Structure 1
Amino acid sequence: MATTAKKKGAPKSLAAGRPPILHRPKTISRSATKALINKHHLLQKRKRQAIAKGDKAEEAAIDAEIEALGGIQSYQEASLQGQRQDRGGDSSRVLMQWLEPCFSSLSKKKSGRRLRMLEVGALSTQNACSKSNHLDIERIDLNSQEEGILQQDFMERPLPRDESERFDMISLSLVLNYVPESKGRGEMLRRTTQFLRGPGRYIGDPQLAVNFPSLFLVLPAPCVMNSRYLDEERLIAIMESLGYTKVASKTTQRLVYYLWRRDRVCKGAGVSFSKKEVRSGSTRNNFAVVLS
């Protein structure tokens, strides 16, 4: 598949691509990694605010601060450090744990069935899901430099022409939080339904029907646990409006993991979700998902 050309004037869906992984980055401490990532997140937030206000001088000053930190490369290398196994590591290990009963059942049946998975924002071709004999994985990223990961923006990916181009599962692991605007996040979640196979496809196979077709969603924990505009109840309501049902979830100090099964086809405008405060307090962040 050829690299998708960016449309002139189209809004960019993600703040930045994933890091190149041809070379192992120099190891830095856990605390330094966290501080660097947090600083970049703060600067990117300030930059979005400056862009929204049309303040070119402030935007340029923030760009200079980002470059002084080592630019996007330093941020990407810090993100890779966080993916190491001794730091909590590969998020798809949680997904594989959830799917283990299903895959064990497939192995016992010796069906040889392989499920199609689209991994958006792929970091590596060697993660836990890549080692499964039950998955055929297509990997995309905004800034791939590894063979096996297509350089492509999910929001500009051509829509499937037929069922053969759809997927049994989509992975959005630490991707949604890189979308700069709350409305764009809602549009990304809505767009996943266009790439998944239809609900009820596996109704004759109970093990598969429990988990597929589905969306694996991973976010930084504060996006859900400490947001002014989003909590788990509201996230569930948003996902249900798109036809998803929560199958599994896990919360750690750093991350929240969700597996959502697509149960319904939602046609028309559906329910709208504005930027509504669900928690008060000066220490809350402003992460939000808007469906209009």
Structure 2
Amino acid sequence: MAAKKKKGPLKNLAAGRPPVLHRPKSMSRTATKAIINKHHLLQKRKRQAIAKGDKAEVAIIDAEIEALGGLERYQEASLQGQRHDRGGDSSRVLMQWLKSTFSPQKPDSSRRLRMLEVGALSTQNACSKSGHFDIVRIDLKSQEEGILEQDFMERPLPRDESERFDIISLSLVLNFVPEAKGRGDMLRRTTQFLRAPGRYIDSPGLAASFPSLFLVLPAPCVTNSRYLDEERLVAIMESLGYTMAESKTSQRLVYYLWRRVRVCKGPGTVFPKKEVRSGSSRNNFAVVLS
């Protein structure tokens, strides 16, 4: 009987850890929606408690969030929402829009475009598999190897053009920012990470789509908000130097591709919180540029 081989010592702590991503058991659409909605509600209550300076209430809410599973559970629900039978990977819409821009053959590494994917949940989405992008993926809580654990609002600004990106993806990220002003700040900050519009002057195909911002939101944020409709969103984005290149509305989501057409200098136009629709059934999603 052969002797069992003795295992050697672990090289480092990481070598002995299980994989970061544990694929959750499938959740029903109802359960997925309930977790996401509950998480958003608790975050809203927490913001209100912080504004009041009620530390005891903040602690209670934090305990409720932890009992719900914290950010990890929210991300599991979000991953379930990316299943094909529930609308699937949102980047498939982006790749469909860019189909005529790219040739069928995958480019070599020197010709791939740079993408920054904020709120990345997977390294296996349509953009990743396309072969047309070198992707930097970041998220507040990394779910797998290849995703950097980082807050976009704290990411160091690019030092030069080589550190900027051709496209930024904000898919179901902006709606998770707790305050209306914070959402405006995030949209404004995207312009600091994108390359200048004139870079693609010798490539009309690329110039029609890049540099750009891929933005995905729950449809009610735009279709049923008291403070935001598509007309106001267009005005906000245009004030930041963007123009709408593509849009799509499904039952659950709204998709936009915003092309950066100019570099804005100075403070720009102010967009306060302003009612654009009345009615008790409206939600309070808003974007503020101050």
Q: Which position in structure 1 is the counterpart of 2:167?
A: 169
User: How big is the alpha-carbon RMSD for the aligned residues of Structure 1 and Structure 2?
Assistant: 2.0
Distance 2:139 2:106 in 1: 34
Distance 1:208 1:158 in 2: 27
Q: Which position in structure 1 is the counterpart of 2:52?
A: 53
Q: What does 1:249-288 align with in structure 2 at a 5 Å threshold?
A: 249-288=247-286
Distance 1:117 1:211 in 2: 13
Distance 2:64 2:193 in 1: 38
Specify the structure having the higher radius of gyration (Cα): 2
Distance 1:56 1:160 in 2: 37
Q: Which position in structure 1 is the counterpart of 2:87?
A: 88
TM-score normalised to structure 2 length: 0.89
Residue deviations 1:201-230, cap 9 Å, x none? 212222111100000001111111111111
**Cα separation, partners in 2 of 1:112 and 1:64, compared to 1, 3 Å:** closer
The Cα of 1:107 is off from its aligned counterpart by: 4.0
Distance 2:92 2:252 in 1: 15
The Cα of 1:22 is off from its aligned counterpart by: 1.2
The Cα of 1:285 is off from its aligned counterpart by: 1.1
Distance 1:281 1:150 in 2: 42
Whether 2:34 is the aligned partner of 1:28: answer no
Give the structure, 1 or 2, with the largest relative contact order (CA under 8 Å, sep 6 or more): 1
Q: What does 1:1-292 align with in structure 2 at a 5 Å threshold?
A: 22-104=21-103, 107=105, 113-292=111-290
Name the SS of the counterpart of 1:258 in structure 2. Answer: strand
Distance 1:110 1:176 in 2: 33
Name the SS of the counterpart of 2:234 in structure 1. Answer: helix
The Cα of 1:112 is off from its aligned counterpart by: 6.9
What 5-or-longer segments of structure 1 have no aligned partner? 1-19
The percentage of counterpart residues that share the same residue type is 83
**Cα separation, partners in 2 of 1:42 and 1:108, compared to 1, 3 Å:** closer
TM-score normalised to structure 1 length: 0.88
Name the SS of the counterpart of 2:198 in structure 1. Answer: coil
Q: Number of residue pairs matched?
A: 272
Name the SS of the counterpart of 1:116 in structure 2. Answer: strand
